[in-house]
Structure 1
């Protein structure tokens, strides 16, 4: 999976196709299921900028428009969140659900673009217009039609998807489209893996068991916020944005290590009781210290909550957060050794529902709108991963505005990469570029350095819980 941003996405010219969803045959029904915590925060912060996630992948030959329309309809019917929407009534966010069998997809007039930049602008503008948090549908269903190799592309407001979902959507659409293309009416979409309904997950989330105030995990959460004056930690280096201000978003996408080097670094991290994610976080902490940000890197990191079978193939926003402090030492390997246990403890704190943490705090005081966080996704373990390279799969994020830094680390068969989001003023750009350059150098140096007797007796790195941290 290529993880990138829309300003860097330059598809080959072709005819941009899109489909609208006709809802005249269905009356939306008010749902008793409230928005999830993530959805509520997202809806409350909705503004003029679209926060969407998109995917694209290639398909041989011209687009079979009938087959793709049927594939999109089947995708909507398969995933409950895609036939639901949100509206605001009396300062309350209300979920509405629509009968997918009553929906009809209509093809819109195509847009022909003779240059990559013109095509990107057409796709970008359509994604911004289609992917919004309120109303139905909250997504774009599209394609780029070409003679030899076409592209299937779709995007979704963040309220309905997370990074894991994008891999599921690629996998589902690939099978649905080619199934309908080959089999026409004989194709049975029910042959896909069983998928749960994210709306059911939201219902279960609203009834989660309360964690007591004396629970050690809750106490750890409260200590974390107490040490940061009751608000989430911010990026420890100056980005040139005063609290309350925002700047145009900068985006940086770069490869840290190729495939073999990534495996070597992962081996070094495991041998020192940590994980690949822990190793990169350790390098980040060393860089922060080197650039004058202090010896501790405190952050929140998202992780998925797909802990039971119904949710493994479900589209939705299945994430929570956990707090972590990474304390740098004089030696990167020693920091990695310390980060491993800290990361494992942090994962356990992720079992405390965030709404309960905020309630225990008496509310969350945020210095900035954006939350400084670092995410990790190993795309090799997600549905459909074996096809990602063959079909040139892309995960594409929007570019809007920013007031803090955020980082998405991804591992694929090609290696280790990092996507960054930050305020693109002069100081913010200079700081983040220096930060990323230094992190990359430290990770590369760790791979190139001789490591003798790396395995630490009693290392429990292999016993770590799954760490696909997703945002």
Structure 2
């Protein structure tokens, strides 16, 4: 899986197709299921810029338009969040549900161009307009038609998907498209594995049992914020943006370790009681320290909430967050040994619903619009991972504005990679480039000078539910 942003995504030119979704004859009803916590925060902050995630993959030859239209329709029928929408009015935000059988999809040509740049810019504009948080549909179904190999693309407003969902969408669409392409209308999409409904998950979330303030997990949350005077963490290096100001977003995409080096780093981490994610966080803390940011790296990290099998193949925003303070000793092995147990403890804090944490604290204070966080996704473990390389699978995010740094660490068969979004300032570019260079040096030196006397420990379970936004 290639994890990137739209400003760095460069598909080859061709005919850009878009499937419009006609809801004029659709039966709908107002649902009594409230938005999830993530959806509520997202919808409350929805502004002019569109926050969307997109999936893309390659198929051989020309697009079979009838087959892809049927595949898109089946995708909506399979996933409850895609047949729901939100509206804002005097009564607040309401969820609406739609009957998928009533939806009519029609394909149109958006543009046919020989220019890669023109196509990419038009695709970005089309995604921005289609993937809005309110109304239905909140997504774009599209494709780039070419003679030799075509690209299937679909984007979704963030309120309906997370990073894990992008892999599910690619897996579903690839299976559905090939099924309809080979068998036409005789293909029965219900024969493929169905999934749970994210709307049902939202209903369960709204009735989560309270966690007492005396609970060790709640106390862990409160200690984290007490140490910071109740303020959300920020990246500790200078980005050239004053509190209250924002800038356009820039993106850094780097390879941290290749396949063989990643395997050796994995072994190094596990011998010292941590997972790859824990080891990467340790290396990040050491890199921050060497760049002048101090010995502590406090952050939030997202975790997936697919704790039941029925959610494993469901599309939705199945994430929560947990807090972690990584302490650098200046020695990578020692920092890894300290970070592994701390990360495992932090994962248990993610079991406390974030709204309950906020209520217990009487609210959170923040100095930035963005929240400094580090996300980790091992794409090798997600649905359809065995085909990602063959079909050139991409996870593409929009580029909007930024006032802090957010990191996405992804592990694939190609190794370990980093994507960072940060303010587009000269200071931030210098800071993030220097930090990333130091991070790569730290990790590669750790692999090259592996300590053969590392202590055998049970590591790695800390990432069982750590899957990013």
TM-score when scaled to structure 1? 0.98
1:156 to 1:287, Cα distance in 2 relative to 1, 3 A: same
CA distance in 2, matches of 1:265, 1:334: 14
Which residues in structure 2 correspond to 1:254-265 (within 5 Å)? 254-265=254-265
| 1:240 equivalent in structure 2 | 240
| 1:71 equivalent in structure 2 | 71
> 1:269-309: per-residue Cα shift (whole Å, max 9, x none)?
00000010111111111111111111100000001000001
CA distance in 1, matches of 2:44, 2:70: 34
How far residue 109 of structure 1 moved from its aligned partner, in angstroms, is 2.8
CA distance in 1, matches of 2:408, 2:219: 28
How far residue 103 of structure 1 moved from its aligned partner, in angstroms, is 0.4
Paired positions, count: 469
| 1:284 equivalent in structure 2 | 284
CA distance in 1, matches of 2:74, 2:41: 29
- In angstroms, what is the RMSD of aligned CA positions? 1.0
CA distance in 1, matches of 2:348, 2:257: 29
CA distance in 2, matches of 1:379, 1:302: 15
CA distance in 1, matches of 2:133, 2:290: 41
Say whether 1:470 aligns with 2:463. Answer: no
CA distance in 2, matches of 1:110, 1:318: 32
| 2:296 equivalent in structure 1 | 296
| 1:395 equivalent in structure 2 | 395
| 2:357 equivalent in structure 1 | 357
CA distance in 2, matches of 1:462, 1:183: 43
| 1:334 equivalent in structure 2 | 334
Greater displacement, 362-371 / 157-166 = 362-371
The answer to whether the Cα contact below 8 Å between 2:168 and 2:314 also exists between their aligned partners in 1 is: yes
Which residues in structure 2 correspond to 1:57-206 (within 5 Å)? 57-90=57-90, 92-206=92-206
CA distance in 1, matches of 2:110, 2:423: 35
| 2:459 equivalent in structure 1 | 461
Q: Secondary structure at the match of 1:109?
A: strand
CA distance in 1, matches of 2:49, 2:365: 23
How far residue 136 of structure 1 moved from its aligned partner, in angstroms, is 0.6
TM-score when scaled to structure 2? 0.99
| 1:373 equivalent in structure 2 | 373
1:216 to 1:431, Cα distance in 2 relative to 1, 3 A: same
| 2:22 equivalent in structure 1 | 22
Q: Secondary structure at the match of 1:228?
A: coil
The answer to whether the Cα contact below 8 Å between 1:233 and 1:298 also exists between their aligned partners in 2 is: yes
How far residue 60 of structure 1 moved from its aligned partner, in angstroms, is 0.5
The answer to whether the Cα contact below 8 Å between 1:55 and 1:393 also exists between their aligned partners in 2 is: yes
CA distance in 2, matches of 1:82, 1:331: 47
CA distance in 2, matches of 1:28, 1:227: 48
How far residue 428 of structure 1 moved from its aligned partner, in angstroms, is 1.2
Q: Secondary structure at the match of 1:108?
A: strand
CA distance in 2, matches of 1:450, 1:56: 38
The answer to whether the Cα contact below 8 Å between 2:5 and 2:396 also exists between their aligned partners in 1 is: yes
CA distance in 1, matches of 2:59, 2:359: 48
CA distance in 2, matches of 1:135, 1:464: 38
CA distance in 2, matches of 1:4, 1:330: 31
CA distance in 2, matches of 1:131, 1:334: 45
| 1:315 equivalent in structure 2 | 315
CA distance in 2, matches of 1:110, 1:322: 42
Q: Secondary structure at the match of 2:109?
A: coil
| 2:266 equivalent in structure 1 | 266
| 2:42 equivalent in structure 1 | 42
CA distance in 1, matches of 2:250, 2:232: 22
CA distance in 2, matches of 1:451, 1:337: 12
> 1:41-94: per-residue Cα shift (whole Å, max 9, x none)?
000110111100001100111000000000000001110000100000216111
1:450 to 1:23, Cα distance in 2 relative to 1, 3 A: closer
How far residue 230 of structure 1 moved from its aligned partner, in angstroms, is 0.9
The answer to whether the Cα contact below 8 Å between 1:407 and 1:420 also exists between their aligned partners in 2 is: yes
CA distance in 2, matches of 1:210, 1:231: 23
The answer to whether the Cα contact below 8 Å between 1:376 and 1:467 also exists between their aligned partners in 2 is: no
Q: Secondary structure at the match of 1:221?
A: helix
The answer to whether the Cα contact below 8 Å between 2:375 and 2:409 also exists between their aligned partners in 1 is: yes
Greater displacement, 461-470 / 277-286 = 461-470
CA distance in 2, matches of 1:117, 1:309: 42
The answer to whether the Cα contact below 8 Å between 2:262 and 2:415 also exists between their aligned partners in 1 is: yes
